[in-house]
Structure 1
Amino acid sequence: MSTFTDLGLSAPVLKAIAALGFEHPTEIQQKAIPQLLSGDSDLVALAQTGTGKTAAFGLPLLERIAPESRTTQAIILAPTRELCLQITTEMQSYARYLKGVSIVAVYGGASIQEQARALKRGAQVVVATPGRIKDMISRGLADVSRVEYCVLDEADEMLNMGFYEDLTDILSHTPADKSTWLFSATMPDAVARIARDFMHHPSEVTVGGRNESTATVRHEYYVVGGRERYAALKRLADANPGLFSVIFCRTKRDAQKVAEKLIEDGYNAGALHGDLSQNQRDLVMGAFRKRQLQLLVATDVAARGIDVDDVTHVIHYQLPDETETYTHRSGRTGRAGKSGISLIILTRSERGRIRALERITGRPFEEKPLPSGMEICEIQLYHLADSIRNTEIHPEVKTFLPAVKDLLEGLDRDALIAKMVSVEFSRFAEFYARNEDPKGSTEGQRGETPLPHGGQARFFINVGERDGLDWMILKDMLKEATGLGKEDIFKVETKDSFSFFSTEADVAPLILESLKGAHLEGRAIKVELTDGPPPGKGGKKPWKKGGKKTYGKKGKPYSKGPGAKGKKRKKTTGKR
């Protein structure tokens, strides 16, 4: 595996990269950086969001800047102010050991006079939104006449937002012999048009297929009635207690309305859309980054440039009008090699759009039934029990324990536990008892005959995301432990500290036997049947007879004895 040193970067830039904890370049960085360092040719680079595109153009750009000159030598254009600020912050961190390099952000919603003063003091690199930089050029507050490098980031989204004429105007003020670097997640016709109109025989770098979605994202969809969309959203939120998600709506009005309803129903939610002031948007994004908000309800335009680690799910409350936009949305999760889940809520009339999404993303989409009320109650019960187990005892509570014990006198251990968990469990049980399960969703993938419920077995396993597992790693671990095939283990759902998975009923004995005595990081793995028929006989033979199988982090086997420790993984990529 190559390192950043192999790419030909200078010592000050390598020092900054090391300080950020990055060791190995991503695929787009490996392909783009050497090419941009070696010559002045134009480049079209296609790669998904979250693959490290900012470093792919930012690092070679900094190497080509002349710090002794205070003129604007490079301009980076981005579609939104959030992305503009994000790029500026990252570029400044890469340039921390480069003396004399100034990077200034120019965007709407902030004082144009202050930005003009910053440019007048000298900025070799300007990161800008098209509307604001065009305005400053027309007023004579910004000079791009000596720009040597122009970067168009998220070019497809800039065109979707109607910035073609603005780009034409801006680029007309730049030298004809400059180098133009175009970075995009998708390659629609409009982006190809930019390459034809503004670039000179550009070379192309592609990571994955054009417009393809990242392989680490699982795509699921739920078919509901038109009036059941919000009820479906609540069920998906309740069925995933550790949810940290961006919820996409088509319009500003819908985003605000959904966020308000979620807040009324007790969820930590917030809205992000164009009707908010810059200060309001900064407050919402700050709360989301700090995980003070669990659910961020956003429009496509407002969500451009959101770079938040560990988003577990993207929920499409409504599908976007443009099919390519789906790729951008789902790129909010599954970043930097991590896994993520993209959930779509759609009506029967929209079902046909799934095929188009499968074609453009190159990924299969699975139709799933919405979780039933009792399934949600079961998940919440396990989550509550785990939360109680892992809660640290507050020192001052000991003062009140004698009085509390007196109040609870006469209750045995089992009754006390049952009453304690019933406090929270009853809230979900009573709500879903009053609200029937939506009838819009059908079980099984499109084109398949759904298996009868009696033909499947559902399992609970006491390991989850806290143990370094996601749905892909857990599925691989189970396949390795049991010897089952790729399609034999399905409906894998990982929660914070536990997970669920399904198999056909006839291999249930194999699952239980194969995982008997297994350990993960020295902790005993427990597997239990949660529903379905009693396991019958038959199935494949266990992968191993007797003994214990121990797993380390990420589901990798390290030793056969309990207590074995896996090596911690180091941070290996520069994230977008």
Structure 2
Amino acid sequence: MTAFKALGLDEQLLQAITDMGFETPSEVQEEAIPLLLDEDRDLVALAQTGTGKTAAFGFPMLQKIDIESRTTQGLILSPTRELCMQITNEMKSYGKYKKGLNVVAIYGGASIQDQARQIKKGAQVIVATPGRMKDMISRRMIDISKIEYCVLDEADEMLNMGFYEDITEILSHSPEEKSTWLFSATMPREVSSIAKKFMHNPLEVTVGSKNVGSENVEHEYFVVSGRDRYPALKRLADANPEIFSVVFCRTKRDTQKVAEQLIADGYNAGAIHGDLSQNQRDIVMKQFRNRQIQMLVATDVAARGIDVENITHVINYQLPDEIETYTHRSGRTGRAGKNGISMVIVTKSEVRKIKSIEKKIQKAFIKKEIPSGMEICEKQLMHLANNIKNTEINHDIDAYLPQINEALEDFSKEELIKKFFSVEFTRFYNYYNKAKDINQSEGPSREYSDDTGSTRYFLNVGEKDDFTWMSLKDFLREELNLGNDEVYKVDVKDSFSFFNTDEKHQEMVIKFFEDFKLHGRSVNVEVSTDKENRGSRGRGRSRDGGGYKGAGRSSRGAGGDRSRGGRSGGSSSGSGGGYKGNFKKRDSDGSGGGDKAKFSGKRRGKSRPESGGTGGRRRRSD
């Protein structure tokens, strides 16, 4: 506590610190707290997830506000419900000896009227998600015109989730002379721009280097074929019997599917994503904190705010679109000075992304092999042996020993050991006895380098529609109901794109896009005969000229009109709206009903039911 006292904190806060068992401030706390207590000014603090950022801004805010006043003086914006509630609980713990302190959490998925009543009673500090906060300000339920301190927590993630406009709108209702404190794990261009827009000559505190990963996390990657992604996940779990992990998927559909597969295979697993109600999320998180769930399968958005100690592994079942997101993922482990491991399961075509991440986080990845079946059997056997060795004897069993001895008297010590261990070993041995080697080399795979048995398609959406190769691949496989590696060689240009599927899917793909519309604009697909993917592909080559075949459409180039049967297909330049904004924007606080806005693509006639869900509802991406 002496170390915290040296930072300038008052007795009430120091007493709370003692109660919580804090002994030494973290580096970001040591740097930021004295600066924020010393004077009212803006601050940008860059530090990895799990380094104690909440206390770094929470203690100074609680010391500087006037507890006697019921006016709202502090606003903390955070990206998700979970993080919002976590910060609120921590602020209440920090201020437990500040009599009269009222900290209120504002987030979607809960009663807006109940939250308004809590605010009306007088809340010196509001912790909020941007979506619900903007809504309540527009309804005149909240007044932030007199706030003195505003915190943008996890600023990079809020901006990555598309909350820039919401934050701008919220801050327009706050006073110009307030102090703004921006806390972020990384410093991408968007965070830098918001700092310039809303802050005045801010101080900067950097713990470690910008955009780099935690020193305590080891990064590993495993190369498998797409069809072996799930078996690889199982083997990694079985090879680490003490695993307590978060498994990251890119979409809600994959998250739910992987969790269900793990549960069906006997693992203690659960899923957390944007389609769950707040009550369902709370139940899953409680089970995870109590270690009833050993493997939590999560989307990036839903995982924000997971502050659970001693997570041993982060497993990237699929790589994220953004490198900054990987930094956040790996930051779930290796906290509070403990070591952690971030594992990445990739296919050959994704290995190049590993190099990009290495460069960004300034950490080298170690290529490792997925363990063989017999290696896993040995690990499990020794894990069981150590468990038995370390188990405390329950002497309540003594009364039953005569009966047990009688039942087992015909067996030698060696036979008893063999029988005992066979109970567990046989299960793994039977499963893994003839298991194949699923590791792959990093060289080019046939499915990505050879077009034999493959069809290449032209699609009139591209970067102008806010697609990346990865988001377009997700969109295509979701809509076409294909596996992750059944859509490949995705190549996104400015206003058009190309992709491949196996030849057997050609008829289905063409038929699916016959009447497909996106924001009222036709999305057309054609079979391309240009195998080399040259730049001439989108520059006015007609079907008769050999550019495209099989779709029965004409083309006037990448940005021109496309028609089928006399019906105008609209512009392929993206001016029709495309996926601009909607694909990126996520309303994770629940006020918008999900982690991302719904896809707006619609087909004429009868819509297909969502897999595993309600019929007629379009799929959403996480």
Normalising by structure 2, we get a TM-score of 0.70
Structure 1's 442 and 351: CA in aligned 2 closer, same or farther, altered over 3 A? closer
User: Residue 44 of structure 1 contacts residue 182 of structure 1 at CA under 8 Å; is this kept in 2?
Assistant: yes
Structure 1's 441 and 387: CA in aligned 2 closer, same or farther, altered over 3 A? farther
CA distance in 2, matches of 1:300, 1:66: 37
How big is each residue's C-alpha offset from its partner over 1:216-264, in whole Å with a ceiling of 9 and x where there is no partner? Answer: 0000000001110000000100000100000000000000000000000
2:130 counterpart of 1:149: no
Aligned to 1:121: 121
The secondary structure found in structure 2 opposite 1:3 is: helix
CA drift of 1:438 comes to: 0.7
The secondary structure found in structure 1 opposite 2:141 is: coil
Alignment map for 1:6-21 (pairs within 5 Å): 6-21=6-21
Aligned to 1:87: 87
How big is each residue's C-alpha offset from its partner over 1:525-548, in whole Å with a ceiling of 9 and x where there is no partner? Answer: xxxxxxxxxxxxxxxxxxxxxxxx
User: Residue 368 of structure 1 contacts residue 442 of structure 1 at CA under 8 Å; is this kept in 2?
Assistant: no
CA drift of 1:392 comes to: 3.6
**Which 5+ residue runs of structure 2 have no aligned equivalent?**
444-622
CA drift of 1:398 comes to: 3.7
Aligned to 2:323: 323
CA distance in 1, matches of 2:271, 2:356: 29
CA distance in 1, matches of 2:195, 2:225: 43
Alignment map for 1:162-561 (pairs within 5 Å): 162-440=162-440
CA drift of 1:396 comes to: 4.7
Aligned to 1:77: 77
Aligned to 1:549: none
User: Residue 239 of structure 2 contacts residue 376 of structure 2 at CA under 8 Å; is this kept in 1?
Assistant: yes
CA distance in 2, matches of 1:164, 1:439: 42
How big is each residue's C-alpha offset from its partner over 1:14-61, in whole Å with a ceiling of 9 and x where there is no partner? Answer: 111111111111110111011111111111100000100000000001
Aligned to 1:134: 134
Aligned to 2:593: none
Structure 1's 410 and 314: CA in aligned 2 closer, same or farther, altered over 3 A? same
Deviation larger for 281-290 or 433-442: 433-442
Aligned to 1:492: none
CA distance in 2, matches of 1:193, 1:320: 23
Q: How many residue pairs align between the two structures?
A: 443
How big is each residue's C-alpha offset from its partner over 1:462-509, in whole Å with a ceiling of 9 and x where there is no partner? Answer: xxxxxxxxxxxxxxxxxxxxxxxxxxxxxxxxxxxxxxxxxxxxxxxx
User: Residue 153 of structure 1 contacts residue 184 of structure 1 at CA under 8 Å; is this kept in 2?
Assistant: yes
What is the identity, as a one-letter code, of the residue corresponding to 1:421?
F
CA drift of 1:159 comes to: 0.6
The secondary structure found in structure 1 opposite 2:433 is: helix
Structure 1's 251 and 413: CA in aligned 2 closer, same or farther, altered over 3 A? same
CA distance in 2, matches of 1:389, 1:36: 52
Aligned to 1:68: 68
What is the identity, as a one-letter code, of the residue corresponding to 2:86?
Q
2:43 counterpart of 1:40: no
2:58 counterpart of 1:55: no
CA drift of 1:441 comes to: 5.4
CA drift of 1:394 comes to: 4.1
CA drift of 1:399 comes to: 4.2
CA drift of 1:359 comes to: 1.1
How big is each residue's C-alpha offset from its partner over 1:255-285, in whole Å with a ceiling of 9 and x where there is no partner? Answer: 0000000000000000000000000000000
CA distance in 2, matches of 1:314, 1:432: 24
CA distance in 2, matches of 1:379, 1:277: 38
Normalising by structure 1, we get a TM-score of 0.75
Aligned to 1:477: none
CA drift of 1:442 comes to: 7.2
How big is each residue's C-alpha offset from its partner over 1:76-105, in whole Å with a ceiling of 9 and x where there is no partner? Answer: 000000000000011101101112221111
User: Residue 155 of structure 2 contacts residue 184 of structure 2 at CA under 8 Å; is this kept in 1?
Assistant: yes
Deviation larger for 235-244 or 17-26: 17-26
The secondary structure found in structure 2 opposite 1:150 is: strand
What is the identity, as a one-letter code, of the residue corresponding to 2:81?
R
CA distance in 2, matches of 1:403, 1:18: 53
Deviation larger for 355-364 or 174-183: 355-364
What is the identity, as a one-letter code, of the residue corresponding to 2:114?
E
Deviation larger for 280-289 or 36-45: 36-45
**Which 5+ residue runs of structure 1 have no aligned equivalent?**
444-576
The secondary structure found in structure 2 opposite 1:297 is: strand
Structure 1's 2 and 194: CA in aligned 2 closer, same or farther, altered over 3 A? farther
CA distance in 2, matches of 1:281, 1:415: 47
CA distance in 2, matches of 1:242, 1:196: 46
CA drift of 1:397 comes to: 3.5
How big is each residue's C-alpha offset from its partner over 1:137-168, in whole Å with a ceiling of 9 and x where there is no partner? Answer: 11111111111111000000001111011001
CA distance in 1, matches of 2:44, 2:352: 32
CA distance in 1, matches of 2:179, 2:333: 32
CA drift of 1:423 comes to: 1.3
Deviation larger for 34-43 or 259-268: 34-43
Aligned to 1:519: none
CA distance in 1, matches of 2:442, 2:402: 53
User: Residue 220 of structure 2 contacts residue 341 of structure 2 at CA under 8 Å; is this kept in 1?
Assistant: yes
What is the identity, as a one-letter code, of the residue corresponding to 2:270?
G
CA distance in 1, matches of 2:172, 2:154: 20
What is the identity, as a one-letter code, of the residue corresponding to 1:277?
S
The secondary structure found in structure 1 opposite 2:321 is: coil
The secondary structure found in structure 2 opposite 1:190 is: helix
Aligned to 1:574: none
What is the identity, as a one-letter code, of the residue corresponding to 1:222?
F
CA drift of 1:115 comes to: 0.7
User: Residue 2 of structure 1 contacts residue 25 of structure 1 at CA under 8 Å; is this kept in 2?
Assistant: no
CA drift of 1:402 comes to: 2.9
CA distance in 2, matches of 1:236, 1:272: 21
What is the identity, as a one-letter code, of the residue corresponding to 1:85?
M
What is the identity, as a one-letter code, of the residue corresponding to 2:421?
V
State the structure with more CA Rg.
2
Deviation larger for 124-133 or 421-430: 421-430
CA distance in 2, matches of 1:255, 1:434: 29
RMSD of Structure 2 on Structure 1 (CA): 1.4
User: Residue 71 of structure 1 contacts residue 146 of structure 1 at CA under 8 Å; is this kept in 2?
Assistant: yes
Aligned to 1:485: none
